[in-house]
Structure 1
């Protein structure tokens, strides 16, 4: 365990102005607070915060951060309070310790809503001060180094899983590449120990066999650059077992098929030497197509800068070469800590990071913690593609992004009004996948609004969140109007007066904030119109129920083909059929088509089938629905995308039943791991009845898209 004077000397070595007295006071206070507490390894608990502080000195952080490392567990695990810390060390340190304490409670829990709510708090804490995350990452690093001392296998696996899914991606996002790699490999050792050991064994064998070869390649690269006038430091860097395993999984190849297990890194003095070195390497050795990446002119979102290239190098070996300046190397390995802003007295505001700003924007627009967790995980894990606006501005996006994602990345209003796109001057569809270097121009229209269909192909959390928010707003308007009609009809049937004052008085009873909210829950089917009437007029509860609020005035039997139905414009007794291609309903504009020996087939006026009959006007009949058809049942067909999760189908059938629909046929036409595409035939009274059912289906989270099927 590091001694008190050793820690102070480490800090003073890079920050001579550090508050030595405060550091000594924090060391003693933490030791006193943790007292006789011990870790599962048997070591004094105090050894942990000292090691965390030691890790933070590697990042050359300010005094407040080092003190936070020493005190980060005091509020959580000792009698110390926020007020005590604030009084002894000031508000800055107290807020940092409090922020780290909140992050300590982040766990991958079985209860998704709790886990998601914790993650929301996590992001908010980071946004207040990014040092909170740096201290937490140091804390997690030491905990992972000592994970093998934890006795419970379930606890070890949970800690490893949350490290892999939350902390390692966050370390990468702020540029702590070294920390990210260590966390991933330590978590991998717990989650897949046999696979990791197999890779380590193979690496050891290669190391024994290829030591001379690696030294030869390094020496030849150094001599080649020197001959070209560039003095460089050339080293070989072995990939971690986890990064090798992940690449094997991603490319579905064996260990022997990987060509870049060893990467060679070239460090030079300045930017010009980077590109000069690249030219020398490419002129001396054949380049491997598709392996060159310029992260200097287009840095990664976390600030990573480097030239990557693959060549058939010395002795005809295929190798990966990375070229960077020494300053870039420091930033690439230690990220934000490499050019620590607090030394210059800059703002502590973590909102300077674009990805963190976008997370906060997502937080503002998501409807539930679960949706926020889903979207932020997408943001953290995505590989990047770099595209340009027509003016040359760079926009970084996750791999697989589309023009809609690009539009929302440029500005929310651009995304909302997007109607088309040009990529490299050529008109493309909105679902086209963008590639590195594409120049994207978005075409907008003031009358355009986000389409629910966009959610099926967008990949960025920002785009998905905005689309869902618009759809929710539209659904609310539909439910508001439907609820208004149901309430008016219920009051009319009860023979009592409807007033805004009366409705406002019963809002509290139904736990809603306003009359409009009450109408929405009625439109959603969560509250019936009769319940609202009885809330306003309690004396009606004891009266016998004579009529249903939503009359069941339709036949339960499906009309037989050839049966005479009341359609205006037909000869009495003529056999009629309803077209199976468009399923016409009362309320649709319709047309009759005469078929020899079959009678008349009824189509909707916009049925695509009618295009084939345009040259036979003699077969067309001008018909319309008779008012009496309101008491009959008809088949309406809907097409929907259902989330593949337990009880999703039960939710679908229940909602249809609650809205007085009767399923007569259900067919799964396409399926994937995440979704089912389903066709459902439903007995309904008319178009309005089917529209109400569709509105109810759109409101549930297990259904991502629903529309009336026309074919």
Structure 2
């Protein structure tokens, strides 16, 4: 047996040290637009990321994210050397970098209107791999650190963008370790006077605060030991940016801020958190208005802790946070502490990874709403972003409903929508969606939409696009019903003519229709009669041309000049007679009489379809009649139907034929379907011979397909 040369490709083992050594010669002597050496920036990013997450792919991407500028085929090289995940991280990070540059250029041009759109594009770009956001935050933090050591006029621009975009993102993801530093450094460059003033105050009061905190830590440790609770008690520093926000919010100078003293207590279990809270309330005076239970009611970004403020023995307030070790890890690293991927040894598997991605996307979407500029009262966003259960981002108009959401995902899903769950709870179809909602559509296996969805006042669909799709569905349904009804009428007529097996495609083409459905639709709309079908499917006979099948239509009221003496009723004297308007008999047509109620004898052509029906229903009322002598100036009303290819001047050319033969035209009706003109003339002729002459000349007119009596 021949050896199998096909090898299974082994997954690439990522080595971030190898990545560093490979890019170092590429980055040598190269600098970013900020002036920072590329290699120094990459080392800084890697250092920041190692403090948050031990991830070789992530750190390798930090080093490789700029190789696109120096290699001919960087994507192929990165994927071959470090794998597809690292390539995806580098590609997404480059996209975010470019969008960030665009956002800054827009600000320079004072084009603030473009900023929301940049945020949306950035949001969607981040949805590939969750870790790309860490790369972007680490890159920005390293840039701000560089500006601290190397002041630049551009530092203020980067800092303002950080406060607008990146620190809210870090906050939403709960990565406070990066959030505080991003905010403090940004304040240093955007408001240097304020920053330096707060730093001076903190330095001046540092000794007093340290002594106070140390005393409080010692007392709380002894209380925990007395109650046999193992825990860590430590002081925590207030960040400069949060101090400034409080000064701005409460309009207070630094000297009047009494909550700069803060402690943190870390225990093993949630039960111990509440037990510690009870101990503190027993031994200190609690300020009840400052109590927050974020364990029972977590923040939107997932943060959990107990917050309380108590007064120490000297009457000064001190903030105390109480949390478990797991909560503390989350508080420091946020969602980065819990991200997992489908790797060897990962017991969570795909479903858990998908669930975590949905949670992450919800935080990212909420971040988008955080950084939008303030609006005037009554002004709302024009778009919202919702999620499918699998984490797909769906862009919708403001005030959209689950019905709108379903149609945006797929038209067929919208048609079959019967209910919805938003964030796991069943809601009515009129429910207004918000950015960050996870929407699950409950769909039937078959069926269609409701007509109520087309009424905007009922609130089922906020988007015109949705209502248009619903309207299209019902229009198509009505069209199919009309085609089905027309098909039934066509089958019935063909059965009556004994032509049930007649080729329908050929019939449709002969009558000028592109398809059988078009013919059936015209029949359903009563735009073509049964005689038009009969004229095609019944073969021409050797009868006189006056007897050939023609297309009957409802005629206009004709003028007729005849008297009863010209119709002879067999075996009876002169009776009240009139010519039937359905077939317009003309000498020498074979005729038959029908004794009507109140109208005397109605004279039909012998081949009139109505006579065939009368023979089946009231045969005893049919009588034999014949043409009698009539005055030479007697005129008989009749209708002529002309089918022709539509063109300019067609009606004039056909009318000229009647004028040349001195035939009086009493009325004309025209209609064009599929570029085929149907001309119906009401005329008065002295007999069949003149009528046949007229039909012969009409057939010679350019574009005429057929000309028949009706």
TM (normalized to structure 2)? 0.49
